[in-house]
Chain A
Amino acid sequence: MVRGFGWAAAFPDEVWEHVFSFLAADADRNAVALVCRAWHRIERRSRRRVFVGNCYAVAPAAAVRRFPEVRAAAIKGKPHFADFNLVPTDWGGGAEAWVEAMAEGWPHLEELRLKRMVVSDDCLELIARSFKNFGVLSLVSCDGFSTAGLAAFAANCRNLRELDLHENEVEDNCLNWISHFPDSFTSLVSLNIACLEGDVNTSVLECLISRCPNLRTLRLNHAMPLEKLVSLLQRAPQLVDLGTSKFSADHHPELFFKLESTFAGFKHLKSLSGIWEAGPAYLPAIYSVCESLTSLNLCYATIQSPELLKLVSRCKNLQRLWVMDLIEDNGLIAVAASCKLLQELRVFPSDPYGVAPPISLTEHGLVAISAGCLMLHSVLYFCRQMTNAALLTIANNRPNLTCFRLCIIEPHTPDYISQEPLDAGFSAIVESCKDLRRLSLSGLLTDRVFKSIGASANRLEMLSVAFAGDSDAGLHYILSGCKNLRKLEIRDCPFGDKALLDNASKLETMRSLWMSSCSVTLGACRQLALKMPRLNVEVIDERRGRPLESWPDDFPVEKLYIYRTVAGPRSDTPPCVWTV
C-alpha cells in the first residue's frame, strides 16, 4: 500500500524494505532513517539487527519500541578496563533490564550477544523461555551466572544452534548441566565451553555430539583428559573449529597414534585453539592439519620456541595467530617466512609480572613480521623493549595496519638504544597507517605523540593510553583532533580539567571516555555535567567516605567514566559510583 506524498511514495513500503535489506551497516541504516519520515518508519520496522555499544546509552524499552522486528541483538556493558580489574565489580552492566524488555517486545528474537555484562541464572532461564525461535547465545567476558543457570537454559532451548561462552566467570555448581539438553535436541552447530572450570561428563558430551550432525565448532574446556578427548573427537570428524582440552599426558605411543590419526581424520578443520599445557610429546599429532589451518590460538600453550617453530612453519595458510612470547624472535622470523597470508598476530606475555625476562622476544620479531607478512593488519604485541627505528620500519612496511596495540610491559620505558621517548615511532605509525582504527600506546611518551595522533589519526575509533604525556595539552590534542574517535580510555596520565572542559562537546560525539589516576577534579566534572546534559558523568570512588555532594570542587577524582546517553542518569548505580 502506498502511503504519504512525494518521491518516497513512488514505491510501496515493501520495495523500500527490500532495498534497505541490503544495507548491513548500522551507520547506513541510521543515515537512511534520517532522510524523511516515510523512510524512518519503513527502516525502523524492517531493522533486524541492533547493536547497543553501551547498555546505558538508551533505555531498553525505548530501543525495543523503536525497532519492533529485531531478530538479533548485541549489547555491551562494562567499560573495557573492567577486563583489568579497574572497574568495581558492582559497577553495573546488569542484563536483566534488557532481557525483560526484549522478552516483552521481541518475542521472535533469535540471537543475543552480550559482552561484559552481569547475567544472572534467572536471566538465562528467561532467555530460554521467552523466545520461541532462539538460536544463538553468545556471552563474552560476562559474570553472574552458574552452571545451574546453563542447565536451565539447556533444558528449555529447543532450536539452539550456537552456545558461545567466551572468557566468562562461571560458578560451577551443577556438575552435569550438559545432560539437561533434551534427547530430542539435535540442532547444535557451535558449542564453546572453554571458560568452564569444572569437569564435563564425557559420555554425555559424546552423546550430544553424536546426535548433532551439523556441529561445526567445538571448544572444550581444560578439564578433559587427553584419552577422553580422543574418543570424543572421533565422533566429530566434520569439525571446522576445534578447541581442545588439556594437551598433555604421560607419554603413551598408543595414545599418540590415536590422537594423530584422529587429527588426520579432520578434513575440514580451519581453526584450532585450546592446547593447554601442550608438551612436545603430543604436539606433533597436530601436524597433519597445519596446512589447512587459517586460525591458530596457542596462547595457553606453554610450548617453547623450537616446538613452536616446527608447528607454525607448517601452517602456510594461517591468517590469524595468537601465541605466547615463548615463540621468541626467531619463531616470529620463521612465521614471517612461512605464513604469508597472516592478517592478525597477537603475542601474549608468558610471565607478565616476572622480573628477569628469560624470553628473547624483542622488537625484532615484530619488525620481521611486518616485513614478511604483507597482509598483516592487526597486531597485539607484549614485549619489554622497543625503539623508534623499529616502529618507523613497521610503519613503513605496513601502512595497511588497522589495529596496532603495543604493550611495553614496564611503564615509561624509552627507546632502549637512544633513551628517547617513543613519540617519533608512534607518530610514524599514525601518519603512515591511514586506516588505523584502533591504537594502544605504551612506553615513554610526551605530549608530542598526542599532537601527531590528533592531527593524523583520522580513522581512529579507539585509543588506549597509559602512563603517557606531560600535561593537559596531550588530552587536548586528542579531543580536538581524531575526527572519528569513539572510545578513549586513559590511565595514569597527567591529564586534567582544562582539556576536558575545553572539549566538552566532543564527548557527545563519542561513545565513552574512561579516565583513571589522572588529574581531574570533581569541580570540572560538575561543570561538565552541567554543560552537557546528554552525558552521564560517573565518578567512581571505592573508599566509601562521605557522599559526593559534600566533597569540595578541588577533590581529585580517582576514576571517571563519561558516556553519552539518551536515557538520563541510570538508576542502578552502586555505592561507589556517583552520577554527577
Chain B
Amino acid sequence: MELELGLALPGSDRTPELGVHGEKRASLCRKRGVDEMLAKATLPLFIQKDNDEDGDDDSRQSKHLQELNFSGSRVLVGWPPVKMWRRKSDDCGRRRANCVKVNMEGVAIGRKVDLCLHDSYQALFLTLGQMFPKKQHDGEESDAAYYKVTYEDEDGDWMLVGDVPWELSVLKHQHKKAK
C-alpha cells in the first residue's frame, strides 16, 4: 500500500479514510477560513505509482492525473461529471481556480498562479515576469526568453514548460519552478 505523508498547517483536518477494498483514501482537507491565500496545500511526498509491478489487484488504484488545488483537496480528472463549459462560465467567486505554486530559485516565498486566468504560455510568462523580481539587466522585456520555467510532471521529472499544448498542460501541471 502506498503511503502518503502531507505537510499542512496544524489544525487542518486530515483523517485518511479506508475505502471498501482497504485502500487508503485521503479525505478532502477542510478549508479553514475564507482567505484562500492562507490555506496551504498538502503535497504528497511519495508520488503514487501507476503500475503495481507485483500485480497486486487488491491495492490497485485507478490511475488518475492528479492535481492539487490550493485548498489541498485531490481532484480526479473529469469527476464529478460536470461539463467543462459549465465550469468555465460558473463565476461569481465560486469558480474553482486552477492554481499552481511557483517558486523562483533564490526567492524564499513562492507565489500562486491561477492557470484558468491565462490562455497561453505567453500570458503565463507575462504574469510570472510581473510576480518575480528581475535581475539587473538592460531593461529587456522578453520575459519568456529570460526565465526558464519548469514543471514537475506525474512521473516526478522536471520538464521545460512549453512542450505540451497549453490546454493539456493546464490539466497536468502541479508545481512550477522558475529559474
**Pair from one complex:** yes
Per a CB cutoff under 8 Å, which of B60, B62, B69 touches A353? Answer: B69
In the complex, whether A206 has a CB less than 8 A from a CB of chain B is: no
- Say whether B20 contacts A444, CB under 8 Å: yes
A83 CA to B83 CA, complexed, in Å: 5
Of B40-48, B90-98, B110-118, B136-144, the one touching chain A:
B90-98
Chain A nearest CB, measured from B165 CB (Å): 7
CB distance from B73 to the nearest CB of A (A): 6
Q: Is A287 an interface residue (CB 8 A)?
A: no
Hey, what's the 0/1 contact readout for A387-414 against B, CB within 8 Å counting as 1?
Answer: 0000000000000000000010101100
Partner of B90, one of A85, A300, A407, A558: A300
Q: Chain A 495-535, CB within 8 Å of chain B: the 1/0 string?
A: 00000000000000000000001010000000000000000
Kindly provide the distance from the CB of B16 to the nearest chain A CB, expressed in whole angstroms: 14
User: Which chain B residues lie closer than 8 Å to A558 at the CB level?
Assistant: 63
Q: Does A24 belong to the interface (CB within 8 Å)?
A: no
A451 interfacial by beta-carbon distance below 8 Å = no
User: A residues engaging B (CB < 8 A)?
Assistant: 81, 83-86, 88-89, 141, 167-169, 195, 222, 276-277, 299-300, 302, 348-353, 355-356, 382, 407, 409, 411-412, 440, 444, 464, 466-467, 491-492, 494, 517, 519, 542, 556, 558
CB-CB < 8 A to B79: which residues of A? 84, 411, 466
Task: Provide the residues of chain B in CB contact with A300, threshold 8 Å.
Answer: 89-90
Residue of B nearest to A169 (CB): B85
A84 touches B82 (CB 8 A): yes
- Min CB gap A356→B, angstroms: 6
Instruction: Check: B30 CB closer than 8 A to any chain A CB.
Output: yes
What are 19 A-B pairs with beta-carbon distances under 8 A? A81-B78, A83-B84, A85-B78, A89-B167, A141-B85, A169-B85, A276-B89, A299-B86, A348-B86, A351-B94, A353-B73, A353-B75, A356-B30, A382-B80, A411-B79, A412-B25, A467-B62, A491-B78, A517-B64
Task: Indicate which residue in B31, B96, B167 contacts A356 across the interface (CB closer than 8 Å).
Answer: B31
Q: Does B33 contact A (CB under 8 A)?
A: no
Judged by a CB distance under 8 angstroms, whether B28 is at the interface is yes
B interface residues with partner A (beta carbon < 8 Å)? 19-20, 25, 28-31, 51, 57, 60, 62-64, 69, 71, 73, 75-87, 89-92, 94, 96, 165, 167-168, 171
Known contacts A85-B171, A141-B85, A492-B62; decide if A352 and B80 are in contact (CB<8 Å): yes
Residues A407 and B168 in contact, CB atoms below 8 Å apart = no
Number of A-B contacts (CB under 8 A): 87
Q: Residues of B contacting A542 with CB < 8 Å?
A: 168
Q: Give the residues in chain B near A348, CB-CB below 8 Å.
A: 82, 86
The answer to whether A84 and B30 have CB atoms under 8 Å apart is no
State A350–B64 Cα separation when bound (angstroms): 24
Pair B83/A84 contact, Cβ less than 8 Å: yes
Q: Which residues of A contact B96 (CB under 8 A)?
A: 352-353
Kindly state the separation between the CA atoms of A542 and B171 in the bound complex, as whole angstroms. Answer: 13
**Complex Cα–Cα for A77 and B84 (A):** 17
A256 → B minimal CB distance (Å) = 20
- What residues of chain B lie closer than 8 Å to A466, measured between beta carbons? 79, 81
Q: Which residues of B contact A411 (CB under 8 A)?
A: 76, 79
Q: In this complex, what residue of B is CB-closest to A493?
A: B62
Please determine whether A86 and B77 come into contact, CB atoms closer than 8 angstroms: yes
Q: Are A412 and B19 in contact (CB under 8 A)?
A: yes
Q: Is the CB of B80 within 8 A of A355?
A: no
A242 CB to closest chain B CB (Å) equals: 18
Contact of A302 among B30, B69, B81, B94 (CB under 8 A): B94
Tell me which residues across on chain B come within 8 A of A440, comparing CB atoms.
81
- Contact yes or no, A407 B81, CB < 8 A: yes
Q: How distant is the Cα of A494 from the Cα of B57 in the complex, in angstroms?
A: 9
**Closest beta carbon of chain A to B87's beta carbon, Å:** 8
Residues from chain A with a CB closer than 8 A to the CB of B19 are 412
Closest to B64 in A: A517
How many angstroms between the C-alpha atoms of A519 and B62 in the bound complex? 9
Instruction: Other than A466-B81, A517-B64, give 12 A-B pairs with Cβ distance below 8 A.
Output: A84-B82, A89-B165, A195-B85, A353-B73, A353-B75, A411-B76, A412-B19, A440-B81, A491-B78, A494-B60, A556-B51, A558-B63
**Chain A, residue nearest B87 (CB):** A352
Cα A542 to Cα B172 in complex, Å, equals 12
Q: Are A350 and B31 in contact (CB under 8 A)?
A: no
Contact at A84–B81, with CB atoms within 8 Å? yes
For the complex formed, measure the closest distance between the CB of A67 and the CB atoms of chain B, giving whole angstroms.
Answer: 32
Instruction: List chain B residues, Cβ under 8 A from A349.
Output: 80, 82
* Distance of A488 from chain B, by nearest CB (Å): 15
Chain A residues contacting B94 (CB-CB under 8 Å) are 302, 350-351
Assembly CA distance A85 to B81 (angstroms) = 9
Q: A353-B73, A355-B71, A355-B73 are in contact. Are A83 and B81 (CB under 8 A)?
A: yes
* Minimum C-beta distance from A478 to chain B (A): 19
A331 to B25 Cα, complex, angstroms: 34
Q: Are B92 and A302 in contact (CB under 8 A)?
A: yes
Residues of A within 8 A of B51 (CB): 556
Residues of chain B with a CB closer than 8 A to A355's CB: 28-31, 71, 73
Q: Closest chain B residue to A195 by CB distance? A: B85
Nearest 5 pairs between A and B by C-beta? A84-B78, A492-B62, A167-B85, A517-B62, A355-B28
